[in-house]
């Protein structure tokens, strides 16, 4: 299989196998305007299997979303065909409008324009707390 290099864009590497499509869905990029390559279950010396996503002409993505889905992935910013920046992701301390509060008494359930704001409370369990109602949400990698 041959997937060409890109001149400008991002390459999201070391994604846990099976999460590549979740990343594409959650990034909310215009799939009709951008060339996207998703390689799934590629061999990896470090992880055994991994996914890889290349997005041409897009460099501005929500790192909180990526870190929430797979904090072990890396993001390479490509300009002029070379890696200009390499970003090691981590679980974000705060996420806005990524996780939705499911508590029916939360203000976000009543006020449709209230942002869903969550703070990381337990990195081991990947647990986040709603800013408004203190409900706890455990986030899996395929969020």
Reported in sequence order, the residue ranges of 17-139 that DSSP labels E, i.e. its strands, are: 36-44, 48-56, 74-79, 82-88, 94-96, 117-122, 127-130, 136-138
Region 4-31 average pLDDT: 88
State pLDDT tens for residues 81-101. Answer: 999 999 999 999 999 998 999
Is the pLDDT at 58 greater than 60, yes or no? yes
Domains present along the chain, CATH in parentheses: 9-88 (3.30.70.140), 94-138 (2.30.30.20)
Is the pLDDT at 143 greater than 60, yes or no? no
pTM: 0.82
């Amino acid at each position: 299989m041959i997937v060409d290099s890109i001149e400008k864009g991002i390459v999201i590497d070391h994604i846990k196998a099976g999460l590549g499509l979740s990343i594409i869905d959650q990034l909310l990029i215009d799939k009709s305007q951008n060339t996207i390559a998703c390689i799934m279950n590629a061999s990896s010396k470090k992880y055994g299997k991994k996914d890889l996503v290349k997005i041409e002409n897009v460099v501005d993505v929500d790192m909180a979303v990526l870190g929430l889905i797979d904090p072990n992935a890396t993001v390479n910013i490509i300009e002029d065909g070379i890696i200009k920046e390499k970003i090691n992701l981590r679980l974000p301390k705060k996420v806005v409008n990524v996780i939705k509060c499911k508590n029916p008494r939360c203000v976000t359930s009543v006020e449709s324009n209230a942002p869903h704001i969550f703070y990381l409370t337990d990195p081991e369990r990947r647990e986040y707390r709603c800013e408004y109602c203190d409900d706890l949400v455990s986030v899996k990698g395929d969020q």
